[in-house]
Amino acid sequence: MKRKMIIDTDCGSDDAVALLMACVDPDIEILGITTVHGNVPLELATKNTLQTLEVCGRTDIPVYPGAERAMVREPVHATNVHGQDGMGDLGLIHPVKKAEEKNAVDFLLETIRKYPNEIELVTLGPLTNIGKCIEKDRETMCLLKEITAMATCGLGPGNTTPVSEFNVYADAEACKLLIGLDVKKRFAGFDMCVGPAAWSDQDIAEIGVEGTLGGWAVAINDALIKYNLGYGLHRLDLPDAVAMACVLWPDTLLEEKEYTAYCCVDEEATYGQVILYRKDMVLAIDKEYPPYNCTVVTKFDGKRYIEHCREMLKAKAYC
């Protein structure tokens, strides 16, 4: 039997690669994709998702638009990183497929009720849709099999503020709700996508063959590649693809450890920081901490992940 999955995305260029990975995986049944504000405004995130499905020939997968803005704060976007359209600004986004009328929150709750303890939820954007589901029906959300979230800095520095990662910073209140949910949850933090997991110039050239999914994946990441070049950084870091790899390709996930996570929402300087605590991290502590409430990916095989990407992205692109 195939693994049942729902993906929640603020589809920018790295989300699109993660979506391709899941869409072409023969062992995965994607019940639906929900969209959320984040990298780009909701409408664009939905359009980018629809286009990605057309490119990999999976127009059978329904797409449900969700939250336009965060639970408390004004929306923030990352168009400086992914391009104004979130997909490299190359005029590649013109989907024919339409989104469903049903809202993401209703779809998520109905579907989780229908398949209790069977659904793996993978979130690639700010956690607003998930926070809203928890507010509406916490009990149902506890019926997820597990959640993997591309969220938090992991054990590294922030990419949006010194201490915050984008998906948490864009809606820390929602992340706090997720952390408080009694369900199996894994954070694939930003620290895992840099270093050996970042595609090199050679990887980009070899994977980016025109007419293949790899050609599309490289094209839509044009703005991100240029952004990284401008800062003298690694070439192509794809946090959402790394999070998806942890779910799809067990040989890439080398280690994950239990942590007590705490999400800061009160002070401006720490807004969106997720403090991760483990007993073995602190030299001397006499305070009792709350029990572990998540796992965090601590070792990832970047080389193996790029090999997998190389293989799966050879497939033909449909448009």
Interface with Ca ion includes 120 (CB under 5 A)? no
Residues 225-254: x/- map of binding to ligand BDR (CB under 6 A)?
--------------xx--------------
Residue 85, interface with ligand BDR (CB under 6 A)?
no
Write out the binding residues for Ca ion, residues 240-299 only, by CB under 5 A: 240
From the list 76-84, 194-202, 239-247, 302-310, the region that binds Ca ion by CB under 5 A is 239-247
With contact defined as beta carbons under 8 Å apart, do 231 and 100 qualify? no
66 part of the interface to Ca ion, by CB under 5 A: no
Q: Which of 34, 35, 39, 148 is in the footprint of ligand BDR by CB under 6 A?
A: 39
Per CB under 5 A, does 189 bind Ca ion?
A: no
From 52-60, 164-172, 198-206, 247-255, give the range in contact with ligand BDR by CB under 6 A.
164-172
Question: 40 or 265, CB closer to Ca ion?
Answer: 40
Using rule CB under 6 A, residue 81 touches ligand BDR: yes
Q: Does 124 bind Ca ion (CB under 5 A)?
A: yes
167 binds ligand BDR (CB under 6 A): yes
> For Ca ion, which stretch binds (CB under 5 A), given 62-70, 120-128, 281-289, 291-299?
120-128
Site residues, Ca ion (CB under 5 A) = 10, 15, 124-125, 240
- Residues of this chain that interact with ligand BDR (CB under 6 A) are 12, 14-15, 39, 78, 81, 124-125, 150, 159, 165-167, 190, 239-240
